[in-house]
Amino acid sequence: MKKLLLSSIIVIIGITFIGRLSYLQIFSFSPDQVLEDPAIKRVYDYPERGYIYDRNDKLLVGNDPAYDVMVIPREVKELDTLEFCSLLGIDKAKFVKELRKARIYSPRLPSVFVPQLSKEDYAKLQEKMRHYKGFYIQKRSLRYYATNSAANVLGYISEVNEGDLAKNPYYIQGELTGRTGVEKQYEDILRGRKGVQYIQKDRYNRDIGKYKNGILDTLPEQGLEINITIDKILQEYGERLMHGKRGGIVAIEPATGEILSMISGPTYDPSLLVGRERSKNYSKLHYDSIAKPLFDRSILAEGSPGSPFKTLNALVALQEGVIDPSTTIQCYHGFYVGRKKRGCHCGGGMRNMNSGIYKSCNAYFAGVFRKIYDKFETTDEAMDVWEKHIKSFGLGQYLGYDLPTGRKGRIPSKEYYDTWYGDNRWSSSYIISNSIGQGEVAVTPIQLANMTAAIANRGHYYTPHILKKVDGKDINIPDFVEPKHTTIDKKHFEPIIQGMADVYHKGTAQWLQIPGIEVAGKTGTVENYTKIDSVRVQLTDHSVFVAFAPVENPKIAISVYIENGYYGSRYAGHIASLMIEKYLKGEITRTDLEKRMLERTLEYEYAKPLRGTEFKINEYDWSQHAKPLTELDSE
């Protein structure tokens, strides 16, 4: 027994040790330890970020070198401060202050001493730099914008935050990443891949050579240049037209789904978010909670579509066979819902499909809508059919375009009304507003444009997208090449398109004609409300217009949504016709109209609900619109 005691102790100790060692070296071991090894430092080599061009190879975003003067306080030796300060263009006090700041941060690590020197200052400084021990110049690359528009499309880059670091192990603190728009969507392509060198350190943090002689080191991979589908000229022109107005414009090439322009008003100059003033500018934009310049209205603003939505109801009715183009409905300067009369501005009389569209008759479409519901035994059944047809135009759902944000909009379903009114306690007259694009339906400008493109294509659309080429080669993404078919047969589109062409010839948009171009369009005037001190107040109608041109072989489909612009042709129609002319002809013949649209602003309208006084809406006289807001305030 006693003889065995010591032997068993030896064996037990051996087993304990091996158990502990296998826990440490087998179970706790993870192979990527090289990443957390304190003895290995990684030094990165950053590639240049890819350039962004428009569809016609016009530069939109490039890079500019910037030079930061860096300092390592501990290594600073005596120097000619006077000369150094004059080279840098700073005074002695600033020199002392910056040096103290850097020393407080860390005497051993580099800090930025003077950020972003101009190229001229850099040239002067470069040759003298070796005299100033402890100072050196670090080259950086900043985004440079060759346009002052398309900020919402291009997006901006900024330093990665905690969330990005947790999500993607590629990034480390202090690196840049695309934050919105194309910069975010195509971050991986534009960024390239940083190169890395592994350096062996000792416990004093001193470099003692390359780790494993550099076999793990990688070279940086250049970021690729991309072309986006935006037409720079059209985009810039649209933004000028949008001056002083709120809303969105989206133009799509129907044959491909390429987004020609995507304008949100108000917007900002993308170069505001680069360089020394970046954070100041960003705060200013971010905290503008009234105009919301950072809110991309072209893809995020959900609103009632108004009368352009009537075309879809007409298509559903034709597809379901409840009417044919010659079916007539009487308009009594309005129509009745129960005993309540709803107005119509078409002038009254018998309406068929063609005059219903071009005169935008509410009574006609209310009748059409009822006929769809009367076809089915139950409203539930009818609602399902209606919803299926409408959604096939890309409404009420994400379109699947390649931009990082978006909204679904809303196409109400039977479940929606069941929750609202109670099970089976509603009928077509409860939801009749949907017949004229008011009520519960909501869409974004890009959905409106896509719907228009589907009509222009006579029944199908291509997923709208923003990427055209990568590294000079056309992209081939199946989802963007395959047509998405609507549930409406091709033959039903012709009468609708005829109606839309007549809108332009003799209907609500007859004043916008462009010499030599056939346009099919539809105006919309959208009632809207806001809350002032929790009282529901009606504001001036939104001005909406959708169109495509030329009618045969369409090259552009466009939606314009101008908040509080009053009736459809007043702002939206005019702007749309100018955009179409600019895109198809390259120049504007109607210069008076152009001048008026460029100059007129709606700031007067937008100020109304904020003034705290009574105000009139839908004023026919628009002389006020030409005056800048400051003048209005002094009255």
Partner 1 sequence: MSGKSVLKRIDWLTVLFYVLLVFIGWINIYSSTFSESDSSIFDFGTLHGKQLFFILTSFASIIILLALEANFYERFSSVLYIISMALLLGLFLFGKTIAGATSWYDLGFFNLQPSELAKAATALALAKYLSDIQTDIKRKKDQLFAFLIILIPAILIIPQPDPGSALVFFSLSFVIFREGLPLYYLGLAFLAVIVFVTTLMFGTIWVSIVIALLIVLFFLLKKKKFKVPIFQLSLAVIVTILFSLSVNFVFNNVFEQRHRDRFGLWLRLEKDPAKLEEIRKTIGYNTYQSEKAIESGGFFGKGFLEGTRTKGNFVPEQHTDYIFSTVGEEWGFVGTATVVILFSLLLLRLVYLAERQKTDFSRMYGYGVISILLIHYFINIGMVIGVLPTIGIPLPFFSYGGSGLLFFTALLFIFLKLDANRLKEGI
Rounded to whole angstroms, what are the CA distances from 234 to 180, 182, 306, 568, 581? 22, 18, 26, 21, 10
Taking the least distance from each CB to partner 1, the nearer of 33 and 630 is 33
- CA dist 74 → 104, 109, 136, 164, 634 (Å): 11, 9, 13, 33, 59
Q: Contact region for partner 1 (CB under 8 A) — 21-29, 84-92, 473-481, 625-633?
A: 21-29
516 contributes a contact to partner 1 by CB under 8 A:
no
Neighbours of 477 (CB within 10 A): 11
Residue placing its CB nearer to partner 1 in the complex, 217 or 380: 217
Shortest separation between residue 152's beta carbon and partner 1, angstroms = 43
User: Whose Cβ is closer to partner 1: residue 36's or residue 621's?
Assistant: 36
Helices and strands, counts by H and E, the chain: 23, 23
Task: Evaluate whether 469 touches 567 at the Cβ level (below 8 Å).
Answer: no
CB contact at 8 A, 140 and 68: yes
Q: Which is nearer to partner 1, 11 or 96 (CB)?
A: 11
Is residue 6 part of the contact set for partner 1 (CB under 8 A)? yes
Buried/exposed code over 63-84 (b: 16+ C-beta within 10 A; e: otherwise): eeebbbbbbbbeebeeeeeeeb
Write out the DSSP string of 400-432. --SSS-----B---HHHHHHHH-TT---GGGGG
- In single-letter form, the type of residue at position 100 comes to R
Q: How far is the CB of 104 from partner 1 (least distance, A)?
A: 24
Q: For partner 1, which is the closer residue by CB, 39 or 82? A: 39
Least Å distance between CB 219 and partner 1? Answer: 23
Q: Where are the alpha helices (DSSP H) in 431-492?
A: 445-456, 478-481
Bridge partners of residue 442, in order along the sequence: 410
| Minimum distance of partner 1 from residue 6's CB (angstroms) | 6
Ramachandran angles phi, psi of 485, nearest 5°: -90, 140
In angstroms, give the least distance from the CB of 200 to partner 1. Answer: 6
Stretch of 14-22, 178-186, 311-319, 576-584 contacting partner 1, by CB under 8 A: 14-22
Taking contact as CB under 8 A, which single stretch among the options 9-17, 142-150, 314-322, 548-556 is the one that binds partner 1? 9-17
What is the longest distance spanned by two Cα atoms in the chain? 119
Sign of CA dihedral 198, 202, 208, 212: negative
Q: How far is the CB of 605 from partner 1 (least distance, A)?
A: 57
Can you say whether the dihedral through the CA atoms of 550, 551, 552, 556 is positive or negative? Answer: positive
User: Does residue 79 belong to the site contacting partner 1 (CB under 8 A)?
Assistant: no
Which tokens is 55 given?
């569809």
Minimum distance from CB of 55 to partner 1 (Å)? 51
| Least distance (Å) between residue 215 CB and partner 1 | 11
Q: State which residue, 30 or 289, has the beta carbon closest to partner 1.
A: 30
Compare residues 38 and 478 and give the one whose CB is closer to partner 1: 38
In whole angstroms, the minimum distance from the beta carbon of 203 to partner 1 comes to: 5
The residue among 19 and 347 lying less far from partner 1, judged by its C-beta, is 19
Place of tokens 């589907």: 454
Among candidate residues 446, 437, 449, 602, the one with its CA nearest the CA of residue 527: 437
Q: Within positions 142 to 201, which residues make up the interface with partner 1, using CB under 8 A?
A: 200-201
What is the Cα–Cα distance from 557 to 264, expressed in whole angstroms? 17
The nearest distance, CB 171 to partner 1, in angstroms, is 24
In sequence order, the β-bridge partners of residue 410 are 442
Kindly determine how many residues on this chain lie close enough to bind partner 1 according to the rule CB under 8 A.
35
Q: Do 145 and 61 contact (CB within 8 A), yes or no?
A: yes
Please choose, out of 15-23, 90-98, 167-175, 524-532, the segment that lies near partner 1 by the rule CB under 8 A: 15-23
Closest CA to 52 of 150, 151, 154: 154
CB nearer to partner 1: give 112 or 199: 199
Q: Match 């108000």 to its residue by tokens.
A: 266
Complex with partner 1: residue 28 or 534, whichever CB lies closer: 28
> At its nearest, how many Å lie between partner 1 and the CB of residue 31?
7
- 550 cis-preceded (ω within 30 degrees of 0): yes
Least distance in Å: CB of 60 to partner 1? 46
Rounded least distance, CB 380 to partner 1, Å? 57
Nearer to partner 1 by C-beta: 207 or 471?
207
Residue closer to partner 1 by CB (options 10, 632) is 10
Torsion of CA 177, 181, 182, 184, to 10 degrees: 30
CB nearer partner 1, residue 215 or residue 610? 215
From the CB of 196, what's the least distance to partner 1, in Å?
Answer: 16
Phi/psi-derived region of residue 96, left when phi > 0, alpha when psi is between -120 and 50, beta in every other case: alpha
Strands annotated E in 46-100: 52-53, 59-71
Which CB, 162 or 202, lies closer to partner 1? Answer: 202
Site map for partner 1, 456-495, x if CB under 8 A? ----------------------------------------
Supply 590's token pair.
Answer: 């109607």
What residues numbered 345-384 form the site for partner 1, per CB under 8 A?
none
Of 418, 419, 439, whose CA–CA distance to 427 is shortest?
A: 418
197 to 216: interface string for partner 1, x by CB under 8 A: ---xxxx----xx-xx----
Residues 197 and 219: their CA atoms lie apart, in Å, by: 8
Q: Is 3 in the site for partner 1 (CB under 8 A)?
A: yes
Encoding tokens for residue 482? Answer: 């395959």
* Helices (H), ranges, 195-307: 232-241, 278-286, 297-300
Q: For partner 1, what does the binding mask look like between residues 388 and 417, x meaning CB under 8 A? A: ------------------------------
User: What is the per-residue binding string for partner 1 in 25-64, x denoting contact by CB under 8 A?
Assistant: xx-xx-x-x---xxxx------------------------
> For partner 1, which stretch binds (CB under 8 A), given 2-10, 156-164, 251-259, 550-558?
2-10
- List 20, 425, 490, 506, residue binding partner 1 (CB under 8 A): 20
User: According to CB under 8 A, which residues from 590 to 629 bind partner 1?
Assistant: none
Residue 14 as a binder of partner 1 (CB under 8 A): the answer is yes
Which of these ranges, 7-15, 257-265, 514-522, 543-551, lies near partner 1 under the rule CB under 8 A? 7-15
- Give the interface with partner 1 as residue ranges (CB under 8 A): 2-3, 5-7, 9-11, 13-14, 16-18, 20-22, 24-26, 28-29, 31, 33, 37-40, 200-203, 208-209, 211-212
